[in-house]
Amino acid sequence: MSKPLEGVKVVELATFIAAASAGRFMADLGADVVKIESAKGDPLRHTAPSEGRPLDMYENTTWDLENGNKRCISLNMKDPAGKEAFFKLLDQADVLITNWRVQALQRAGLDYETLKVKYPKLVYAICTGYGEYGPDKDLPGFDFTAFFARGGYFDSLRQRGTVPFNGVPGLGDHNVGMNLAAGILAALYQAKTKGIGEKVETSLFESAVYNMGMMVQASNYEGIAQQYPIDVREGANPFNAAWRTKDNRFIQTCMPDYNTYYKKFIAAIGREDLVENENYFPILTCQAKGLGTEVYDIVMEQFMTKTAEEWRPILEAADIPFALCQNWIEIRNDKQAEANNCFYDMKYSNGNTRRLVRLPVKFEEMGVPEYKPGPLIGEQGPEILKELGYDDAQIQEMQEKGTLFVWKDERK
């Protein structure tokens, strides 16, 4: 099985999710991704209590999602010997991925301007919270803050009069990670074909601004974009809403062009008497008369007469874009997701089998990549140093001095 990134070497100097997910994507495609950790380990290893999982180094589904198929070496970067080993890794690398803050990179001599002198072909990829410039460039950034809050999700996409919706970790990070991966691959192509390195940057905030682009741009005009958060009943298009069913589920419909769908949707929900209603159609007439809330209420009333399962064949027959609002347990068992190979059932050493999520980009000729668990702290450190020319005595000395840390696997 040929993999697109076989032979590419990546050094990942990053914690948490966004930058790491870019490294994971490259690892799935065959790149040798070496993650650098401290002896304490990436804080992501310890987030289980916030997610309702057991805190277990040997069964860590979040860690595996972001770091599967990578290797890991734990180096004390403050020790000159550890720094030397890091640079030996960089000597062989095509890509460096980091999410360290710019000041920390500068203090360590690992900023782009410094490294590009020695490594002119290196692809230097950095992920930040708010971008590299501006008054807030040095603020710590997580997806709850830089992406969801500063980027307009929490305030705009809530029902008017309520608190912001419940955020979940990783959503913004994964978006940013794939953006970073796209930039890395473009820069890597240039490095391989022209011998020219490049710096690739994105941030949680910048990605959120881009995602919100349609409505940010619409806010130039005195329309609904300036009125968010809204009551969904008062939305510009009453057909883009979630409808409560008889069994207390919600079915989301999406009909961006109200006029195209009005007649068949109204007929499908059992209100054939309104098909030729001149007050509700076309959309500009409905808006001008302020009748969108009436249409919303009519549709909601109809949906509450049937269960979600009863609505499914009706909406499918009318070719209405819809989906049941699913919970995570339903997603984990979704036959459509299974058919498209969204999952991997990982059997852990403790005997448990857990369903993990694969990355969403597929390659026909490469096939489905293997799924190796994320490494323990420094698990491959000795083998990586041997590849760099260190002998057993040097490696042992580095361990004894604390320059190199290798997690002691208590199972062995």
Residue type, 175: N
User: Of the candidates 31, 67, 3, which has an alpha carbon nearest to the alpha carbon of residue 367?
Assistant: 3
Report the distance separating Cα 68 and Cα 370, nearest Å.
9
Q: How far apart are CA 61 and CA 51, in angstroms?
A: 10
- Residue whose structure tokens are 């002896």: 39
With 0-12 CB in 10 A as exposed, 13-18 as middle and 19+ as buried, what is 197?
buried
| Annotated active-site residue in 173, 247, 257, 345 | 173
> Closest Cα to residue 21, out of 214, 211, 207?
207
Burial call 68-88: b when 16+ CB within 10 Å, e when fewer: bbbbbbbbbeeeeebbebbbb
The DSSP H or E segment spanning 406 is none
The span from the CA of 161 to the CA of 327, in Å, is 24
* φ/ψ (deg, to 5) at 209: -60, -45
Does residue 173 have an active-site annotation?
A: yes
CA quadruple 392, 393, 398, 402: dihedral positive or negative?
positive
Q: What's the rounded Cα separation, in Å, for the pair 386 and 388? A: 5
Tokens read off for 336:
């459509």
Query: Would you state the torsion angle of the CA atoms of residues 125, 128, 131, 132, taken in this order, to the nearest 10 degrees?
Result: -70
| CB distance 379 to 72 below 8 Å | yes
Q: Which residues are catalytic?
A: 173
